[in-house]
Amino acid sequence: MPQNMEVIVLVGGFGTRLRPWTEDRAKPLLPILDKTLLERVIEVVPEDLISRVIVAAGHGVEQIENFFSKKNTNYEVVISVENEALGTGGAVGLAAKKLNGTGPVLILNGDLISSVNVSELLNHHEKKGARATLSLWEVEDPSRFGVCDLDESGMIRRFQEKPDTGTEFSNFINAGCVIVSRDLINNFSSNKHSMERVVFPSVAESGDMAGLVFSGYFVDAGTPTSYIEAAQTCIKNNRFTSGKKIDDSWYGKGVQNTSSSVRCSIGDNVSIDETSILSDCVVLKNAIIGKDVKLERCLIGEASIISDKTILSDAVINHYSTL
């Protein structure tokens, strides 16, 4: 197995579905418990497999650069800047210009929290002699996704985009983690195009695309509901190195009241009055929750203040707000 693999993380979106949280900060830097979303995405890769990470970004570039300039990592982090939306294929093609290794390259979707086993995926890629190998996740209803036809030998033969119910080849969808050979990625155009719709079908039809199904968990953290689910998934699977887990909630440092929250992520130094009740919420650091507050399925921004007797559900409260 080759060591020191280069990794491309696709974070080109504006994070519009998480506004107002993303109006003044890059979505990849929003926290999921005690790490940023971007770090959560990268941590599925064993550190001894990573030599460099190329972050393909179009928004919040300076913030991302500043974050990693202060962060000690065992690998180099390089930013590939998209001045316009290039689609997944164009973003990879542009980022590929910053590659300097020789082995296969791992491409990760920057929104996904999953239990994919990258070492197993790499083994499968090499065993099958594939030019591209997709991680696959099984869904109950594939009609909202593109599905792939995986044969008994572990090779993908064709794709089907958003099939009508009952017409699908399979229930296996692309899980946002793909290994591509160096010769394939070197041929990516940096013009705007979709990797999934333009590049992958022809690779599959030529018999050079493998697929490997994994189990465990798979969450796209791009919406308020799924962002909460991503935090809850990390709590359930103990994906944190600081703070503490009590029942089904996680609490950062300096949180005194740990009895008012159910299935919540509560950031560092958050103050919650003991008369308040929070369920299925993510509260970022330094927020203050007043008396007799009831919050359900809310995202509460950093250092925001929620006044006494506030009742909210399904709300996103911006950082430094007062309600």
The answer to the question of residue 139 being in a domain is yes
The answer to the question of residue 178 being in a domain is yes
Query: Is residue 175 domain-shared with residue 297, that is, in the same domain?
Result: no
What is the CA angle 311-316-318, rounded to 5?
105
Query: Is residue 159 domain-shared with residue 269, that is, in the same domain?
Result: no
Domain around 261: 242-317
Number of H helices, E strands in the chain: 7, 26
Query: Is residue 148 domain-shared with residue 192, that is, in the same domain?
Result: yes
The answer to the question of residue 237 being in a domain is no
- Supply 262's token pair: 């159910």
- Domain of 294: which CATH number? 2.160.10.10
- Domain of 65: which CATH number? 3.90.550.10
Query: Is residue 159 domain-shared with residue 249, that is, in the same domain?
Result: no
Query: Is residue 208 domain-shared with residue 272, that is, in the same domain?
Result: no
What's the number of CA atoms in the CB half-sphere (13 Å) around residue 309? 0
The answer to the question of residue 322 being in a domain is no
The answer to the question of residue 20 being in a domain is yes
- Choosing from 153, 185, 220, the residue where a domain stops is 220
**What is residue 1's predicted lDDT score, i.e. its pLDDT?**
46
The answer to the question of residue 133 being in a domain is yes
Q: How many domains is the chain partitioned into structurally?
A: 2
**What is residue 170's predicted lDDT score, i.e. its pLDDT?**
85
Query: Is residue 156 domain-shared with residue 18, that is, in the same domain?
Result: yes
Query: Is residue 70 domain-shared with residue 204, that is, in the same domain?
Result: yes
What's the number of CA atoms in the CB half-sphere (13 Å) around residue 4? 8
**What is residue 177's predicted lDDT score, i.e. its pLDDT?**
96
Residues of the chain with pLDDT under 70: 1-3
**What is residue 134's predicted lDDT score, i.e. its pLDDT?**
96
**What is residue 208's predicted lDDT score, i.e. its pLDDT?**
95
pLDDT in tens, 64-78: 999 998 888 888 899
**What is residue 184's predicted lDDT score, i.e. its pLDDT?**
95
What phi and psi values does residue 246 have, to the nearest 5 degrees?
Answer: -125, 120
Query: Is residue 32 domain-shared with residue 73, that is, in the same domain?
Result: yes
The answer to the question of residue 88 being in a domain is yes
The answer to the question of residue 233 being in a domain is no
pTM score of the predicted model: 0.93
Spatial CB neighbours of 216, under 8 Å, sequence gap ≥ 6:
114, 115, 116
